[in-house]
């Protein structure tokens, strides 16, 4: 446990060294989740003064106050939205409903002691959906709530159409089929959050978007009790099938993007789903099991391998009592993996790896990484294992994008993602993309780290 405590202290040192972003919380998890929500201001998901004013009323690590204060804000903005809607002020209502949706999501974040049976989790989750749905109805190009077939049920998502009047990303006819982004989140995201983290940016640039929740995510977890599965192609393939049945989708230009834990899930799907034209790992995650093992340390892992679950659980739970990030990870892990106890969560994450899968990916791939990511060292092994056309981009902390999934640097993040995607999808789709050097970027500079060429052997139906 000493190693875990030392790692936590080191994390606080890094956090407190981040320029201009240390005034909200000393608690690393509270800081990050607030920054995550604040970053969505760019697409209408937050207002800076509302976020800072609410954060000021929440003591470090006080999860009860977290829920109470963010819910109070959500309810206030919800009431503002209803009033504007009743008075016919459509723009004001839309803007307020969007913020209320994000704030309802945020207030529920630490309701993790028994989320499967906590009525507040379902109540607040539904409020977040309802607020987004009301905002969508007021947009000029309204997102639509959709479901697509999955095994013997369906999965939920939002169809976010390209903004009216936006240019065609690959130069086609404005009224013709468009490139489409298939987008899912990670360990604790919701399908509504995806609008702020990438869906709106894609639609603004002329892409259609299917933003969805897979098993273990959003309302698929909360309302359908569907749990995570490592063979993520079983989730993505029916989504691709659904897109290919739509006449407004360019069937040769479907890109897949996974956020956070989705940076492992999406590449795992792309290893077997070869109808994808591009892949974005945001951020790249080679092994979720490896990231969790690094977090708990070698002494704990030796006990896990020895089957000393009782001791493992006692040691980790002791640390969880004072470590918000670990408490959040393991309490949530119990639900999304359908297990009980930290040792079981650790074992469940073992299956989530790209070892042996990354070399099977055939489409051009963008791997992102934040310099200050709390799962460091995961993007590079993914990039190195790829055998397709590939690009790696590191976001430096000094430029504001160093946090996990570039929280707080939304504009720069989307510039990198969509400038790359525009270029990749503009290539002719009749033949494989030409050989290219392995392309490495860091901030605004570019260099070539390898002299050998990388080729993407594209598959076409």
Residue bearing tokens 């995510």: 217
Which residue among the candidates 96, 189, 260, 287 is catalytic per the annotation? Answer: 260
pLDDT digits (tens, 9 = 90+) for 227-276: 999 999 999 999 999 999 999 999 999 999 999 999 999 999 999 999 99
Domain boundary among 139, 174, 205: 139
Q: What's the structural domain count of the chain?
A: 3
172 and 246 housed in the same domain: yes
Higher-pLDDT residue of 452, 323: 323
* Contact in structure between 391 and 441 (CB atoms under 8 Å): yes
Other Cβ atoms closer than 10 A to 146: 15
Domain boundary among 114, 139, 164: 139
Spatial CB neighbours of 58, under 8 Å, sequence gap ≥ 6: 25, 30, 65, 66, 69
For the domain that residue 186 is a member of, what is the CATH number?
3.40.50.1820
Buried b (16+ CB within 10 A) or exposed e, 153-181: eebbbbbbbbbeebebbbeeeeeebbbbb
pLDDT digits (tens, 9 = 90+) for 113-168: 889 899 999 999 999 999 999 999 999 999 999 999 999 999 999 999 999 999 99
Strand partners of residue 249: 178
341 and 361 housed in the same domain: no
- CA pair distance 33, 299, nearest whole angstrom: 29
**pLDDT at residue 56 greater than cutoff 80:** yes
The per-residue pLDDT for 429 is 53
Pairing of strands 278-282, 249-259: parallel
* Contact in structure between 300 and 312 (CB atoms under 8 Å): yes
pLDDT digits (tens, 9 = 90+) for 412-435: 999 999 999 999 999 765 444 433
260 is an active site residue: yes
Look up the pTM and report it.
Answer: 0.89
pLDDT digits (tens, 9 = 90+) for 274-333: 999 999 999 999 999 999 999 999 999 999 999 999 999 999 999 999 999 999 999 999
Residues spanned by the domain of 160? 142-287+352-461
Residue bearing tokens 């086609």: 172
- The one-character DSSP state at 432 is P
- CA pair distance 232, 440, nearest whole angstrom: 27
pLDDT digits (tens, 9 = 90+) for 371-385: 998 777 899 999 999
């Amino acid at each position: 446990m000493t190693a875990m405590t030392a790692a936590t202290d080191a994390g606080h040192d890094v956090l407190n060294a981040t320029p201009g972003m240390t005034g909200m919380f000393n608690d690393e998890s509270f800081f990050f989740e607030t920054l995550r929500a604040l970053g969505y201001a760019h697409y209408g998901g937050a207002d800076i003064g509302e976020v800072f004013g609410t954060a000021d009323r929440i003591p470090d690590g006080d999860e009860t106050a977290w829920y109470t204060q963010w819910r109070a804000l959500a309810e206030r903005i919800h009431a503002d939205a209803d009033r504007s809607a009743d008075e016919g002020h459509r723009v004001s209502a839309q803007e307020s409903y969007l913020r209320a949706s994000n704030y309802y999501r945020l207030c529920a974040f630490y309701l993790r002691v028994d989320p499967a049976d906590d009525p507040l989790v379902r109540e607040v989750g539904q409020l977040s959906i309802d607020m987004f749905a009301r905002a969508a109805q007021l947009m000029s190009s309204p997102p639509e709530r959709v479901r697509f077939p999955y095994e013997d049920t369906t999965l939920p998502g939002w169809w976010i159409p390209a903004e009216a009047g936006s240019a065609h990303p690959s130069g086609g006819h404005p009224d013709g089929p468009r490139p489409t982004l298939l987008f899912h989140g990670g360990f604790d995201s919701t399908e509504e959050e995806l609008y702020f983290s990438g869906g709106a940016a894609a639609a603004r640039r002329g892409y259609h978007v299917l933003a969805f929740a897979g098993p273990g995510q959003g309302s698929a977890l909360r309302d359908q009790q569907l749990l995570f599965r490592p063979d993520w192609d079983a989730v993505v393939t029916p989504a691709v099938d659904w897109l290919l049945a739509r006449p407004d989708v360019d069937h040769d230009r479907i890109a897949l993007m996974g956020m956070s834990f989705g940076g492992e899930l999406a590449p795992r799907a792309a290893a077997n789903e070869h109808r994808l034209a591009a892949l974005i790992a945001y951020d790249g995650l080679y092994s979720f099991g490896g990231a969790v093992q690094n977090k708990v340390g070698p002494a704990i892992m030796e006990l896990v391998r020895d089957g000393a679950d009782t001791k493992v659980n006692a040691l980790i739970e002791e640390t969880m009592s004072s470590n918000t990030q670990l408490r959040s990870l393991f309490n949530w892990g119990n639900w999304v993996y359908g297990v009980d106890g930290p040792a079981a969560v650790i074992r469940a994450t073992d299956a989530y790896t790209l070892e042996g899968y990354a070399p099977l990916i055939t489409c051009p791939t963008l791997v992102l990484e934040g310099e200050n990511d709390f799962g460091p060292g995961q993007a590079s092994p993914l990039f190195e294992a790829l055998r397709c056309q590939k690009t790696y981009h590191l976001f430096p902390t000094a430029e504001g994008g160093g946090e996990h999934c570039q929280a707080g640097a939304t504009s720069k993040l989307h510039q990198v993602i969509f400038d790359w995607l525009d270029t990749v999808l503009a290539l002719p789709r009749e033949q494989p993309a030409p050989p290219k050097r392995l392309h490495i970027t860091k901030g605004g500079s570019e260099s070539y780290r390898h002299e050998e060429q990388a080729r993407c052997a594209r598959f076409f139906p």
